[in-house]
Amino acid sequence: MIIREAKHDDWNLIWPIFREIVLEGQTYAYDPEITKGDAEKIWLADPRATFVAEDGGRILGTYYLKSNQAGPGGHVCNCGYMVSPKARGKGVASKLCEHSQSVALNLGYDAMQFNFVVASNTGAVRLWKKLGFEIVGTLPKAFKHPGQAYGDAFVMYKWLKS
Amino acid sequence: MIIREAKHDDWNLIWPIFREIVLEGQTYAYDPEITKGDAEKIWLADPRATFVAEDGGRILGTYYLKSNQAGPGGHVCNCGYMVSPKARGKGVASKLCEHSQSVALNLGYDAMQFNFVVASNTGAVRLWKKLGFEIVGTLPKAFKHPGQAYGDAFVMYKWLKS
């Protein structure tokens, strides 16, 4: 598995992963009906950088990195990660997150913030904690699960610069 | 003073307020060098709604309202408020915030979130608390003050729906 910058043409392979995860409706606050083009804008075109984990031409996962705020908040970046449902349980998310922390430092960021980690996504919460992120906020009932039940979301944060 | 929806032409009067506040560098995580056009996109064009507080043709303050997340997070809105430095201390921010909560409920939102309230902006923190917002998160060193000293920022949240 290699992690490399995503090219425009990769979107055809990233989109099915993005679509499946968003349709599950359990982890991301994106519109499940989002179009392929709008998703590309969010994930590939607008962020400062987008990477893919590739293995023999297959895309196992992906992440984007962007500034979380501008100006006096511009030293904190934000990332989002997606792993293909077919590639779960292989440590892909962990490798992507570690990679993103190196990239963030190289780009001059001091810290990384996740704005919206769904509290019921315990696997992700556990992994981010293991990788040094802390829960710094809890957004009560900020996520609506597919059955319409409200759940909390966490804000997670890690100071990267030594 | 009336609070009404902002029109495109209002930007010429909103922009000097926006510019002065962003140049102060104490409260908003916007690039101090932002152009008039980019600021208009952020404040007036992209949000779901933008309002101004007007008194005899003068703009005393303004706010925008937009969804804070999409899809399963789309029931929480986000607002930003600016009061003209010339109109401070007259309760304009308070009236704008109360107005925005009514508008949010009318638009079908359940809750309102402020993503980045600079902790040293104690006047704002006190006011939002008085108006029912809670500090639900603390972002350590997420704000760089003009002298480059780091300060915290708060995430504040209010459930609006009864």
Is the separation of the CB atoms in B61 and B92 below 8 Å? yes
**B43–A contact, CB cutoff 8 A:** no
Q: What is the pLDDT of residues A75-129, one digit of tens each?
A: 999 999 999 999 999 999 999 999 999 999 999 999 999 999 999 999 999 999 9
Angle at A73 between CA B3 and CA B155, to 5 degrees: 60
Q: Tell me the pLDDT tens digit for each residue of B8-57.
A: 999 999 999 999 999 999 999 999 999 999 999 999 999 999 999 999 99
CA distance readout (Å), A52 to A36, A83, A85, B136: 17, 10, 15, 33
Alpha carbon distance B93, B84 (integer Å): 10
Q: For residues B135 and B157, give the distance between their C-alpha atoms in angstroms, rounded to a whole number.
A: 7
Q: Which ranges of chain A does DSSP label H, i.e. alpha helix?
A: 11-24, 36-40, 92-106, 122-130
CATH superfamily of domain region B2-113:
Gcn5-related N-acetyltransferase (GNAT) (3.40.630.30)
Give the pairing type, strands B49-55 and B76-83.
unpaired
Domain boundaries, chain B: 2-113
Mean pLDDT of the B101-119 span: 98
Q: Is A88 near chain B, with CB under 8 Å? A: no
Q: Name which of B32, B70, B159 is nearest A29 (Cβ-Cβ).
A: B70
pTM higher than 0.90, yes or no? yes
Q: Give A44-65 pLDDT, tens digit per residue.
A: 999 999 999 999 999 999 999 9
B137·A141 Cβ contact <8 A: no
Q: Which whole number is the average pLDDT over A2-10?
A: 97
DSSP 8-state assignment for residue B60: E
Dist. CA B67–CA B36, nearest whole Å: 23
B111 touching A, CB under 8 A?
Answer: yes
Q: Which pLDDT belongs to residue B31?
A: 96
Could you tell me the two tokens for B4?
A: 């009404």
- Residues of chain A with Cβ-Cβ distance to B146 below 8 Å are 72
Contacts of B157 in chain A (CB under 8 A): 139-140, 142
Tell me what the pLDDT averaged over chain A comes to: 97
